[in-house]
Each structure stands twice: as structure tokens, then as C-alpha cells.
Structure 1
Amino acid sequence: MRLLGRIAQDKLAVASLIIIMLVLGVGALAPYISPHPPDQVDMNLRYAGASWSYWLGNDHLGRCILSRVIYGIRPSVLWVMGALSVSVALGALLGLAAGYFRGKLDAIVMRLCDVMLSFPVYVMTLAMVGIMGVGLTNILLAFVLMKWAWFARIIRTSVMQYADADYVKYSKATGMSHVRILYKHILPVTLPDIAVVASSAMGSMILQISGFSFLGLGIQAPHAEWGMMLNEARGVMFTKPELMLAPGLAIIAVAMAFNFFSDAIQVALDPKLASSRQARMGVRIAAKEVTYP
């Protein structure tokens, strides 16, 4: 409750959370909110400007840009969030086990993490796309296979801070099972750290999936996706720059919202960060008030 109260006091965090929830809601209700089908082609409306029927205009095939932006939330955000959830769940499971039991299990998990983290994500993703073919599913699968190691290492470090606590030792002495200890004592105190890791990774994954789609390696036509919309509009970026504006701003806004919310969680968990931020702001205000002769 204290964590939620500290986050609620941060106006930027509240605004970011509202943006995130609004985007998720619009994406989930896309068939009911979208004014037109996203793949409806009308060459008579090719490169048409904004109107009451098409608020953001039409693309090179006469498709509604607003509808495609709305439907683009699903692969760009919702599907990425699903892949992130699987990665975090797998990393949390292995990280909890490694940090709590330690010994051989910890050594095996950490060596697996070392092997997975030794390969750049982009290189391994491109390799999987080359082997399995282009498509958003293959890219998301590559994200799951590569990013779980990063989550496992961070969560394992967090678990080791609490595994030797007195209340954990007391629970062991009373005969409580390891599974119950992990569920009742270890997992609740590591959930904030997991939330920070997940929220910070979400923004980067959105940018990565949009980048791969921009290169033509992600979701394929006629499906809508923000990165692919940028790719489709780059041919007329100088004559019709407004075609890149809507998907570009959507990517920036959602990625920034997740990053700001992640920073807010970190500040709420560590009051020292908030104190240092206030100190820097005070120095800046004092510097502005200084008058020179």
C-alpha cells in the first residue's frame, strides 16, 4: 500500500499509467472502436487528407490510418506484453529457485544465463528469423528465448537479499515447505523488483518489435503494425510526412509511458532516489534565482 501511495503522488507516473491503461483498453476493444476495417482498400481515397470520416487521413492504398493505428496496438503492445509475461514468468521461476536453493542449481542456471546473455539479442533474433522465416510470432519467440536469462539473473540477485532473513530461517525451522516459503515470504518482497524489470523492458521491446517490423521482418501485410506503417510511409516521407506522424508518435508515447512508470516504481521503492531528484531540482531552481552583476 505504501508503494501505491508513493506512486500516486507522482503526477508523471499517474499520467503514464493512464496512458498505458488507455492504450491497452483501446487495443483490446479495437473491433468495436475502430471506425473502419484496417485492411479496407479504397484507391479513390489514396493519400486523402484528414476528414470527418477519416480523422487521420488515408494511406497509399486508401486505408484508414486511424483504424490501422488502433489495430496496431495489438501486435505492437498487447502481443509484446504477452511475450514479456512469458519471459518474466520463466525468468522469475528460475531466478527464485537459483537464489533460494543456491548450490548446483544456482550454478547451472547462472551458466545457462551466461551462455544466453553472451549472444546479442538482435543477432539471435535475426538468426531465428533466417531459420524459421519472417513473422511476428518468430520474433516474439526469439524475445522469450533470449530475455528470460536477463530476468532470471536480476531476480536471483533480489532473492538472495531475502533468502537469509531471520523470518525465512524461522519458517524453515518450523518445518514450512520450501514452496510455501517461496510463495509466502520470498515472492511478495521480490514482486516490486520484478515489476521494475518488466516495466523497463516493455518500452525497449516495443521499440525492438517496431524496428524489426520497419525492416520487414515482423508482421506481414495486410495486418496493421506501427513499425510496418512507418515502413510503408517512408517512400513519401518528404511529400506526405503526416503519414509517419501517427504511428511514430504512438511508438514514442507508449515507450515513454512505460519508461516513466518504471522510473516511478524505482523511486517509490528507494526513497533515496526521490531525495536526490528533489535535491537536483533545488539546485536548478537556486541557480536560476542567482543574479549576476
Structure 2
Amino acid sequence: MSAANVDERVFEELQALEAIFSPDIIIKWEDGVPKGVEMNVLPSTCDNTDEQYVRLTLEICLSPDYPETSPKVIMRNPRGLDDRILSCMQSDIEDKLNENIGHLIVYELIEMVRECLTQCNLPRGQCVICLHGFVQGDIFIKTPCFHYFHSQCLSKHFIAGKKYYEEELDKLPAWQRMEAKAYQQTCPVCRSTVQFNVDDLKLAPPPVESIDAQPFHLTDEIRSMQERMAALMAHQISRGGVIGIGDTEPPPLIITDPADQQEPKSSTSGTQSAPRPETSTSVRTTGNSASGAPASPTRPPYRLRGFNRRGKPGRRGRGGSR
């Protein structure tokens, strides 16, 4: 499809969108043909970015014969919005598209989504630290990566994280402590680097829901779940699926020498020890010994796993043939 086949109204609409929303809007072109529009939509808060608690990326893919057919609308990277709100927004968008076939609709879609975000400009879901929801009266914080936490909860997270960092740092030798990076606050969700004043966060009151929350008690449902998880854990351990349970130290690489493979010698009483059992990977010796007697019975190969003493992969032990 060439640019000559595109409705002239589409070019006029895109020019108007770029003038209104630049530099926040991205118009995608391919060989001079418009393919779509992408924009990060935020709630209207009179340019007060600190009070913009929700957002999403709106992508509008234009069909070749738009506006005679409806564009495809995709909402990506939502922040502070739960599935119920996103589902309602998607339903409203589809109704809007069906009612306006044959009309330019991109600007109206952007404004409709912005209006919805303005009405829902309060984080949904739970604080991942305390697991309580956000309700009216809560003092919460928004990170630059658009994740939300109660201010007091985030202060506790940073205090605990710094304490753990210092405990682990003390375990290192002096030369590693000198080279270690300083403690850095990170977002509990995406691990992005953030910077907050912990003393200010500690002054915030606890979450509203935590004040009226009932004391925890072990219910039959929780006890049943614990029993199922314990049985699953035991099954995983028995199958070797859990590493570190009961280990006193990391498992070393097993490197054996030819001396480890020597056959048992006869005891002074004349009684010979039982030979080692033969395995499916045994190597038989077919030559004769220096006395002309048959060679010793079948001997298993070197039990090398991992690397030999030279630090190179292989099956040759120390003292083996080169």
C-alpha cells in the first residue's frame, strides 16, 4: 500500500495529534504510510506529576483502510490498575470503536483513556510488603518506576535491607569489603534503583487496614495448606529437587588418582579381600604381568567427575598416560 492510497484525513489527524501531544506521542510510519500511534497516557492532575498514581501505554494500530475499518487498540504496561478496571476500559473502547466506524477516532480514544485514568487515580491492589490494600486515608509513595507502597512499609523494607546488607558485608574478608559497592535502595518489585529519605517515610502512619485488622490465627484452611506444602517439600527433597537441605558444605568435585583404583592386596594372614564389583563400564586388562601370570581381574575406570587436577576437562587422572 502506498501513501497515495491513504485517506487524506488520516494525515491531517496525525498532524493534529503530533501538535497536541508532542513529545509524548510516537507516530509509526512505514514507507510513508502511517501504521500506528503509541503514547504513555497519564491522568489529568494539572501537571502535578507527584499525584499521577496510574498510567498505561496506549498503542493504536491503524488498518490499511482506516477510518473505514476500526483500528486495533492495545493497552500495555499498566501501573496501579487492576484487571477489573482494565477490562472495563477495554469494553468501553470496543463500544466506542463500533459506534464510530468511518470516523477519525484516535484523539477520542486517547482522551477517553485519560479520563478513565483520572477517575481511577488511586493505586489498586495490595502493597506487596504488608499485603494490605490502598484505601482512602493511606499515606503511600510512588516510585519512579510506578510501583506503590505504604510509606511506613517501605521504610521498614529499606531498614531491613540495609541491616541484611551490613550483616553479609561483615562476613567478607577485608579486601572484599573494600571493593564492595555501597548499599543502594531498590524497588521491592522490579529492583530498580530508587532514593528516598527513610526518616521521612517512618513518620507516616501505618496502613488503615492494618489498624482494624483481626489478629492472625491459624485456621483449618491454613493448616491444611501447610500440610500439603510440607508433603510437596518432602517429595521434592526425596527426588533431589531441593538443594541445600541438610548439607554441611558445598558438594566438592570428586577427583580420584590411580592409587585410588588399585586392587586390594592380600592381608598378612593370607586371606585376600573381596575384589571390587565389576560395573557395566569396566575396562578389562588383556595383557600379561611381568611374571607371566594373567593380569589382575577386571578394574573399573577412573571415577573422574568434573575436571582433572590440571583444571582441564577430561578423564585422565594424575599419573595417567599422556
For normalisation by structure 2, the TM-score amounts to 0.20
Higher percent of residues as helix: 1
Q: Per residue, is there more strand in 1 or in 2? A: 2
Give the alignment's TM-score, normalised by structure 1. 0.22
For CA contacts below 8 A with separation 6 or more, give which structure has more relative contact order. 1
